[in-house]
């Protein structure tokens, strides 16, 4: 069966510290992978998407970067977090009939 793992579930980080969120997918190959961010009470903002290894597209200019070192691994990173990076981060992948989400990471930058 296909599953998606995202961790950690909750993270509290100081301003200026680095960030690494990891997402892995099982049970499929060459998936489209996505990172979204959701501010409180707001919709999903697409940050990055990837159609293959080392193929990353960025949707908005920001303090974050993404990498896909392996087919089913997608990593969201930052060298120095800002307060405005706080939010709910979701990793996702999709078939042609459904999108699947990780459990999300609630990041609070303090």
Partner 1 sequence: RKEVEQDPGPFNVPEGATVAFNCTYSNSASQSFFWYRQDCRKEPKLLMSVYSSGNEDGRFTAQLNRASQYISLLIRDSKLSDSATYLCVVYNAGNMLTFGGGTRLMVKP
Contact with partner 1 (CB under 8 A): which of 64, 90, 107, 109? 90
99 versus 110: smaller Cβ distance to partner 1: 99
- Asked if 6 and 105 count as a contact pair (C-beta separation under 8 A), the reply is yes
Name beta bridge partners: 36: 46, 90
Residue numbers 18-37 binding partner 1 by CB under 8 A? 32, 34, 36
Which stretches within the chain are classed as H helix? Answer: none
Q: Can you spell out the DSSP letters for 19-49?
A: EEEEEEEES-SS-EEEEEEE-TT---EEEEE
Stretch that binds partner 1, among 13-21, 42-50, 61-69, 75-83 (CB under 8 A): 42-50
Q: Which residues bind partner 1 (CB under 8 A)?
A: 32, 34, 36, 41-44, 46, 49, 51, 88, 90, 92, 94-99, 101-104, 106
């Amino acid at each position: 069966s296909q599953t998606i793992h995202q961790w950690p579930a909750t993270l509290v980080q100081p301003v200026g510290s680095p960030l690494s969120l990891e997402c892995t997918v099982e049970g499929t190959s060459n998936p489209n992978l996505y990172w979204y961010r959701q501010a409180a009470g707001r919709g999903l903002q697409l940050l990055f998407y990837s159609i293959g290894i080392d193929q990353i597209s960025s949707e908005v200019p920001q303090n974050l970067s993404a990498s896909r070192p392996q087919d089913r691994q997608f990593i969201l990173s930052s060298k120095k977090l800002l307060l405005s990076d706080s939010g709910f981060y979701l990793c996702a992948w999709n078939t042609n009939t459904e999108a699947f989400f990780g459990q999300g990471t609630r990041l609070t930058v303090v």
